[in-house]
Chain A
Amino acid sequence: MLHEFRCRVGVSGLRAINDHLVVRLLKHLRTEHKSVGLIDATDLPAATADKKKTVVNGPLSVRP
């Protein structure tokens, strides 16, 4: 269901939802104070489990 929701709403739809929420929160800002923003970035590791070798190597062949 979540997958279907994601496909339907898309990135722009999610952005629109967030913008709507942000507008509501901006009304709580005190205009007599300077507003402070912080920019940051956080790493999200890509899933690589499907790319890893999972088959155990067999024994080395021994030359007769």
Chain B
Amino acid sequence: MGYKKHSLRLWLNRDWSTIRLIPVVSWLTPANVPEGYLLKPSIAYCWRRFGWRPDIVVGDLGYIHGQTKREIRQNWKVAVVTKLKAGMSLVAPFESERCIVCPQGQPLQWLEYNEQEDRHCFGVRAAQPLCDQCWESSQCSREFDYPPAHHETLMGLLPLSILPAQQLLHQARSWIEPCQAFEKNLLGLNSHFLNSLRLTWCLGLMVDAAVLLRTLALMEPSPLANPLEQLLPEQGHLELGL
């Protein structure tokens, strides 16, 4: 038997050149509590305590239920992005996780999300589309729209096929492990004698406080220039274009 530390972390977007993930809300639970159960309470907590919530939440794998995603989307307008669960079957218009096609098979490009009508708009933007040979071309507007509720994982508020969603899943997710390793190894969360849930709660929150204080300190302008600044590693930029 062990414990689990669930954290909703925020990617501080003030400076995209460095990766700064800060724990906004953490929950310490027995190890048998699944991760997906604490997403909704985390967003509700953010809204209640800070009057704020993240616009997009990236989840690990596909363990968050579609019903939970729907409630989060409808109540807080938060897009939950997760990978497709293993064995989950695709639904039209998705030909693959990254490709949406029209009923006749022409690949479509995401154009926009119309918030008032609550629909995603997709259109034909390929240089040489197959539409000229299509028997429906005379009646086709070459634009198609779908509501986010069409499929909570594939569509939702941020369709899985578009580049920002894929970037979030493949780039942003990979920074979670260094955060966890920092808390467990450098801040010593792993080396404590955790023999009660109450103690685990206290130590988990104290580790969060240390991370938050460190981030605040790093954001203060340094009075002295770092002589080794040119030798510091630089992170790649993450420009989502949203």
Contacts and interface: CB of A to CB of B under 8 A. Distances in A.
Contacts of B206: 6, 14
B38 interface: yes
Contacts of B193: 47, 49
B160 interface: no
A23 interface: yes
Interface string B1-14: 11111111111111
Given A18-B212, A19-B50, A21-B213, A43 B202 contact: no
Contact of B11 (A36, A40, A50): A36
Q: Which of A15, A24, A44, A50 has the most CB of B within 10 A?
A: A44
Contact of A34 (B50, B52, B55, B199): B55
A28 B184 contact: no
Contact of B205 (A11, A29, A35, A37): A11
A25 interface: yes
Report the contact-size class of chain B (Cβ under 8 Å from the partner).
35 or more
B154 interface: no
A42 interface: yes
A47 B194 contact: yes
A36 B12 CA distance: 8
Most buried by A among B3, B55, B199, B205: B205
Nearest to B181: A42
Interface string A1-34: 0000010001100110111011111101110011
A37 B58 contact: yes
Interface string B28-49: 1001000100110010000001
B209 A36 contact: no
Interface residues of A, number: 34
A37 B60 CA distance: 12
Contact of B6 (A21, A22, A36, A41): A41
Q: What 5 A-B pairs have minimum CB-CB distances, sorted nearest first?
A: A37-B54, A14-B205, A21-B212, A34-B55, A41-B35
19 contacts: A11-B201, A21-B209, A21-B212, A22-B22, A22-B212, A25-B212, A25-B219, A28-B12, A34-B240, A35-B56, A36-B56, A38-B59, A39-B8, A40-B35, A41-B4, A41-B6, A44-B31, A44-B194, A47-B192
Interface of B: 1-14, 21-24, 26, 28, 31, 35, 38-39, 42, 49-50, 52, 54-60, 168, 172-173, 175-176, 179-180, 183-184, 189-190, 192-195, 198-202, 204-206, 208-209, 212-213, 215-216, 219, 240, 242
